[in-house]
């Protein structure tokens, strides 16, 4: 089972205690199901969302709606996982009025061919979410229902990516506003004809899982984040250490080259004893660091002292080379 499906299985088991929160979650499940609305059934693109809606409807209305898996009508509703809950006209009216998708005895809420809300507004009683999300707890329930209906989450071991795929701009803007009221900022993009809200920040994804009450998934995400951070920290340290070693090797190679050049020139034996001793130690131990070279020195000398003497030897070699080139 994918990480996203495990999250949905966990959210399926979360049942709000307050009636208003149950209504908010049901509004998201019905309003953002992604399937075409029918006058005789509530349709859902995935079975988990449909079964959660059935549970909430049973708790709120005491209706036990029969299930219809797949569709005899063909088309998009024939896709694997689609679930429809058959309703009478009165049951459908009660549900849609309660979740604020229509007024009592008003017209059936629908979406036109262009995928736009026919009421052309985000702030009236035909749009699920705005009227049912008056409290923070209801907004959290709504987000949970939205994720069950149209959300997905990539495996965090590979990538941090959570998204909601919505069928029209009205739904996208409404959900975006609900999320913003919970301090969750999302990106938006068009994918074919779908409106997609997405999050790529692991901390915001963790916040969303907390808001939706997906605590097991949150712990799994946090464990993966910790492992990734430790791994990245180790990699940074290894890369830094590797870079330092490479820098030390390059510097030591240059010092050995300069010392050998000086040793081949007249007057090398006349150099001060500390310079000759430093040169000899570097030739004997070309691979060690300055600190290690200082420890090998017979007399007490610091790392900076060894570095100063090696710099002096290298400068002398450079001057000799320049003088020879001018001749």
Q: Is the pLDDT of residue 258 over 50?
A: yes
| Least reliable range by pLDDT among 140-154, 195-209, 241-255 | 241-255
Arithmetic mean of pLDDT, 231-258: 86
CA–CA dist 224, 214 (Å, integer):
15
Average pLDDT, the chain: 84
Four-point Cα dihedral 240, 245, 246, 251, nearest 10: 130
Q: Per-residue b/e over 265-277, b at no fewer than 16 CB within 10 Å? A: eeeeeebeeebbb
CA distance 12 to 46: 12
pLDDT score, position 61: 95
| Whether residue 71 has pLDDT greater than 60 | no
| Calpha distance 77→104 (Å, rounded) | 28
Tens digits of residue pLDDT in 282-318? 888 888 888 888 888 888 888 899 899 899 999 988 8
- Residue ranges of alpha helices (H) inside 62-168 are 89-98, 136-150
* Domain extents in the chain: 3-212, 226-326
Using the predicted structure, report yes or no on whether residue 202 has a pLDDT greater than 60.
yes
CATH architecture for the domain at 3-212: Roll (3.10)
Residues 179-188 have pLDDT tens digits of 999 999 999 9
């Amino acid at each position: 089972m994918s990480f996203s499906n495990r999250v949905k299985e966990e959210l399926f088991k979360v049942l709000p205690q307050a009636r208003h929160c149950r209504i908010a979650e049901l509004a998201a499940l019905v309003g953002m199901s992604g399937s075409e609305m029918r006058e005789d059934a509530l349709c859902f693109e995935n079975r988990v969302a449909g079964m959660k809606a059935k549970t909430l409807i049973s708790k709120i209305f005491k209706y036990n709606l029969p299930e219809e898996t797949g569709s005899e009508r063909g088309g998009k509703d024939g896709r694997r996982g689609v679930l429809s809950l058959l309703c009478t006209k009165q049951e459908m009216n009660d549900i849609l009025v309660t979740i604020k998708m229509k007024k009592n005895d008003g017209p059936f809420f629908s979406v036109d061919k262009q995928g736009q809300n026919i009421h052309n507004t985000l702030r009236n009683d035909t749009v699920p979410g705005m009227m049912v999300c008056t409290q923070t707890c209801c907004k959290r329930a709504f987000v949970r229902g939205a994720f069950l209906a149209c959300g997905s989450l990539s495996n965090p071991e590979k990538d941090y990516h959570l998204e909601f795929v919505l069928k029209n701009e009205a739904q996208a803007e409404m959900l975006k506003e609900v999320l913003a009221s919970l301090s969750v900022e999302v990106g938006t993009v068009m994918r074919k004809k779908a409106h997609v809200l997405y999050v790529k920040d692991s901390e915001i994804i963790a916040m969303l899982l907390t808001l939706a009450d997906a605590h097991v998934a949150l712990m799994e995400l946090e464990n993966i984040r910790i492992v990734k951070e430790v791994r990245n920290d180790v990699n940074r340290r290894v890369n830094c250490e590797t870079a330092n070693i490479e820098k030390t090797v390059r510097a030591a190679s240059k010092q050995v080259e300069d010392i050998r050049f000086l040793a081949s020139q007249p007057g090398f034996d006349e150099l001060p004893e500390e310079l000759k001793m430093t040169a000899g130690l570097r030739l004997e131990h070309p691979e060690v660091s300055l600190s290690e070279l200082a420890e090998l020195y017979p007399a007490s000398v610091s790392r900076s002292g060894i570095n100063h003497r090696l710099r002096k030897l290298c400068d002398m070699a450079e001057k000799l080379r320049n003088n020879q080139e001018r001749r």
